[in-house]
Chains A and B, each alone.
Chain A
């Protein structure tokens, strides 16, 4: 398969690998679309979400204070509700800051690459304690590592308070640990092993459901992970940070997927994760997901093979994998096979007009209506990555209503023919160009563009 012509490559680069073209952007990469993509790969990782540097420590300290107040003022439910709302507002601010970054960044591929990994290692804002650190989680654990080694990314995510709270790891106690014995004397029924994170690391983050592990491997891995926790309110020096609690760590050697781990303490689970990161099934599982995310719901096997080879040869160097993706000719098929998620759709809409979203109050209900509540994927598996999910009838109607309302507000002073050309370049079909040109008003023209088959795909 040969590469398509340059102008088509430029349009693909900015829409399939990026988040859509801002006005004038396509022109700048016309000469060297692949070079434009390559230049976005950098060792220091993706751009941080500009959320005033709010850290997990700060957020979890505030969260602890909120809990304390709630307990103290049981009678005053109003005050507690108000405090919870403030915390939720922080989460909304994180989200809209990320959306603004997406709408304005000149490095759309880098941002998409970061979003892929944030979704791969989903920590969902479904409980408040996790919600307050989902934004900081991306900045602290995901974004710095997305062009580094996969193994480092895995450990960074598994040891972050967002993941430790989301999948209940921070409360997991080894049954034979001193902590369990202490809890038993105090008749604390909550102390015990929790397999949640260990299972999801195997099933979702690394080797995959067919990766060749058994229930016994899950339990053994969960035992190895005991002690991975976070500092609580009574530990002011390390509140909101990762801590290893030797007292709750299950003593002894573990055997996982046929390998024996004699390490003591925190190193034991880290060694397991290093092996999982290097496992061939992990390369196959994760590379398949990358191909599916960027290229097609059912990606060409040759593309996945190419990514797996690069992953294996570089021992999970994600910069190498990213580079392989953008140079693989299978990734440049001019026919767009991916239907944009609601987030990708909305962000690319703002990019097309050179704008950006302004408030979470506006953005959150929109995305929720289209099936993608901010930061709140329905399960640890993250957001679905196929057209069947996102091209549902009700969601398409909601997209249409949004496009109509959005266009009515923003289209007045803009030339929709030009927006169409600048947003889609060579991908703009004659049918859509004609519909836009013949529309009877600018808002109608822009709504048609946003809802066109090629704008909704990438």
Chain B
């Protein structure tokens, strides 16, 4: 175990890292308290719904029936607002503790979930470039200076934390999947198969009856669509539990958690709000659970790609490119949007269809890891994000 004194000396000896460490980062005591949580929003989260550019003249027209009305959106500035479900994020944003990066993307352009998630989590410049995750390599690069523990939440370790450096994992059990997607997807897949369709429908109905019987609900009582109060409570609890882990002595300083269900090809007005409300509840639980430690924390919510700028024929959106990342935390400096807004003008769209990315996801993480977590520049440019010279670190976030 490296003593604080030695590790500080090593840090100073690293030289280059000094200029890269943001304000206040030169005290080991502070570094040891720094926390980073990465929330991976799987499925391709629709940036134009997370942070609707209600002031962009093309927004309402492109989005049609799924445009977030200005009257309901939670206003951030003249151009941007937040989705009505993101009340916690909005409260934090007003306090200068949440910012948006509205046109961000990983270097992948294939619009395939698996590939794009791989690239996002591995930190590689292309798919199958690296087989470990960039947060794991971050732990490894910090190891010679100080021991930083990592934790992933979920039954299996996500790629972002997989690799040589040991990292813990914790699974909240049955509560985690309050909105299973598989039954709906299978119902669609069985459309031309009466035998399987009937068996599945009947089986699901029985399951639902059993579940409501177990919960002591009244038979025949109407279910409200969207994320129920119980599901919201469990998302919030997930946040407070994670915070509980991170505030323990020697608890994890780096954590990753996955949220799924963002692949909203159809009926987005119903499909997306519960997902965003779940994320918001998680962030509420996390920020309140961290208490005093919130001031030492940065949270990044990122997705593998955004969605088409234009609404599709089924009230949803298809796989796109640029999306919104949320950056939150008490450690954050006040500021406007992160990166530039390319606008939604037809000629500004990427391949005539998607929000054009103006910021490389790796640049955002490089900035956070350097300034907030004290990862030195050589490690960032070498092991952590290989071949990322083109993605300049976003400076001045903390």
Q: Which residues of A contact B72 (CB under 8 A)?
A: none
The winner among A394, A396, A439, A452 for most chain B CB atoms within 10 A is A396
Identify the stretch in B25-33, B186-194, B362-370 within 8 Å (CB) of chain A at 4 or more residues.
B186-194
Identify the stretch in A144-152, A184-192, A404-412 within 8 Å (CB) of chain B at 4 or more residues.
A404-412
* Beyond A391-B199, A393-B206, A396-B196, 14 additional pairs, beta carbon < 8 A: A339-B195, A393-B203, A397-B206, A412-B156, A431-B189, A435-B185, A438-B113, A439-B185, A440-B42, A440-B260, A441-B117, A441-B260, A445-B114, A453-B192
A397–B195 alpha-carbon span in the complex (Å): 14
Q: Are A448 and B42 in contact (CB-based, < 8 A)?
A: no
Our pick among B42, B113, B159, B189 for the contact of A451 (Cβ within 8 Å) is: B189
Our pick among B180, B196, B262 for the contact of A440 (Cβ within 8 Å) is: B262
Q: Which residues of A contact B261 (CB under 8 A)?
A: 440
The number of residues on chain A lying at the interface, defined by a beta carbon within 8 Å of a beta carbon of chain B, is 34
Q: Interface on A for B, CB 8 Å cutoff?
A: 339, 387, 391-397, 400, 403-404, 408-409, 412, 415-416, 431-432, 435, 437-442, 444-445, 447-448, 451-453, 456
Q: Which residues of B contact A339 (CB under 8 A)?
A: 195
Q: Are A391 and B202 in contact (CB-based, < 8 A)?
A: no
Identify the 10 closest CB pairs spanning chains A and B, nearest first. A440-B43, A393-B203, A397-B203, A393-B202, A440-B263, A396-B199, A453-B193, A393-B199, A391-B199, A440-B113
A415–B114 alpha-carbon span in the complex (Å): 8
Q: Are A394 and B206 in contact (CB-based, < 8 A)?
A: yes
A391–B113 alpha-carbon span in the complex (Å): 31
Q: Does B183 sit within 8 A of A, measured CB to CB?
A: yes
Q: Does B147 sit within 8 A of A, measured CB to CB?
A: no
Q: Which residues of B contact A437 (CB under 8 A)?
A: 112
Q: Does B8 sit within 8 A of A, measured CB to CB?
A: no
Main secondary structure of the interface of B (DSSP, over half): helix
A437–B202 alpha-carbon span in the complex (Å): 27
Tell me whether A447 and B182 are in contact in the complex, defined as CB-CB below 8 angstroms, given that A393-B202, A453-B190 are known contacts: yes
Main secondary structure of the interface of A (DSSP, over half): helix
Our pick among A391, A404, A442, A452 for the contact of B114 (Cβ within 8 Å) is: A442
Q: Which residues of A contact B16 (CB under 8 A)?
A: none
Q: Which residues of A contact B183 (CB under 8 A)?
A: 400
How far does the Cβ of A347 sit from chain B's closest Cβ, in whole Å? 20
The residue on B at minimum CB distance from A412 is B156
Q: Are B114 and A435 in contact (CB-based, < 8 A)?
A: no
> 15 pairs across A/B with beta carbons < 8 Å?
A391-B195, A392-B199, A408-B156, A409-B155, A412-B159, A431-B189, A437-B112, A438-B265, A440-B43, A441-B42, A441-B117, A444-B181, A444-B182, A447-B182, A453-B190
Q: Does B348 sit within 8 A of A, measured CB to CB?
A: no
Q: Which residues of A contact B199 (CB under 8 A)?
A: 391-393, 395-396
Q: Are A387 and B206 in contact (CB-based, < 8 A)?
A: no
Q: Are A444 and B185 in contact (CB-based, < 8 A)?
A: yes
